[in-house]
Amino acid sequence: MQTVDKAVELLGYFSERQPEFGLSELARTSGFDKASTRRLLLALIKHDYIEQNPTTKAYRLGIGVLRLARVRETSTPTEAIVNPLLQKLVAITGESAHFSLLSGGRISSVGIVESSKSNRISFVQGEEGAIHATSSGIVCLAFSSDESINEVLKDGLEAFTEHTITDARQFRKMLQAVRNEGYHINHELYEKDVCSIAAPVFNQAMRPIGALAVAAPTSRFGSGAKKQILTAVYEAAAAASRAFGAEIDGSKL
């Protein structure tokens, strides 16, 4: 089924940042031969999961994916589960909260509820974050397979701020700590003056499917606020996991 792997891998390359690809471009990105890439694309086009702009010849995701998402959402609702929890998080902590989805080694925020404060952290729907520097990414990775972790490490850990952890050994140590504690407190690893706390959300198979997180400016991230946010996030994530069918003891804190 290596052909199938390749085909779905192609789908993974389409992102918010790059929603369109030329043929050669996609072949280069994926590492597949141009001829193979084209054949794979044609197969996907046949089923409406890819479409081609007839004027620019560029390939993009097709309408078929909308149907799939709709089926998935009505049968096993994600937004319906996550949104009320986000609302509650914002109500309790007064800071922006968001839910990020882990899929194909990428982490992207899909649900966002912002704080009503004027100095708040803002997120963009679907924005992709660095998996090794955002709190959501780190908690997901901590509970992922070793292969996933190695995959991230082999490309090197890009530094976003002076606090970003770029040393592989140190990074692994941090992941171990996250596994023990069940959450991660992020002090400006990704962006200056932004701190956040995230906890993983598991599915029925106990695999991390994403994370709930609350982010605040460093100035409002005192130890009191930190404790409050931590318990709120941890409990919300546990509730989400339970809603997705995971069995969580819920009393780790």
Partner DNA sequence: TCATGCCGGTTCACTATTATCACCAGTAGT
Partner DNA sequence: ACTACTGGTGATAATAGTGAACCGGCATGA
Summarize the chain as % helix, strand, coil (round to 5). Answer: 45, 20, 35
Whether residue 23 contacts residue 34, with contact meaning beta carbons closer than 8 Å, is answered with yes
The minimum distance between CB 88 and DNA, in angstroms, equals 36
The item of DNA, its own copies, none sharing an interface with residue 245, based on CB under 5 to 8 Å by kind, is: its own copies
Q: Binding to its own copies (CB under 8 A): which residues in 122-151?
A: 125-126
Whether residue 238 contacts residue 183, with contact meaning beta carbons closer than 8 Å, is answered with no
The item of its own copies, DNA, none sharing an interface with residue 57, based on CB under 5 to 8 Å by kind, is: DNA
Cα–Cα distance measured from residue 31 to residue 9, given in angstroms and rounded to the nearest whole number? 11
Nearer to its own copies, 65 or 153 (CB): 65
Nearer to DNA, 53 or 176 (CB): 53
CA-closest candidate to residue 139, choices 109, 98, 183:
183
The minimum distance between CB 3 and DNA, in angstroms, equals 4
- Pick from 16, 33, 73, 193: which binds DNA (CB under 7 A)? 33
Angle CA 122–127–128, to nearest 5: 125
Nearer to its own copies, 60 or 88 (CB): 60
The item of its own copies, DNA, none sharing an interface with residue 90, based on CB under 5 to 8 Å by kind, is: none
CA 201 to chain centre: 11
Cα–Cα distance measured from residue 3 to residue 148, given in angstroms and rounded to the nearest whole number? 21
* Distance (Å) of CA 8 to CA 88, 192, 208: 36, 36, 20
The token duo for 147 is: 């292969």
Nearer to DNA, 52 or 83 (CB): 52
The item of DNA, its own copies, none sharing an interface with residue 125, based on CB under 5 to 8 Å by kind, is: its own copies
Nearer to DNA, 36 or 228 (CB): 36
Cα–Cα distance measured from residue 38 to residue 26, given in angstroms and rounded to the nearest whole number? 9
At 132, the amino acid letter reads: H
Residues that bind DNA (CB under 7 A): 1-4, 6, 22-25, 32-36, 38-40, 52, 57-58
* Footprint of its own copies (CB under 8 A): 1, 3-5, 7-9, 11-12, 14-16, 19-20, 39-40, 42-44, 46-49, 51-55, 60-76, 78, 101-104, 106, 108, 110, 125-126, 203-205, 209-210, 245
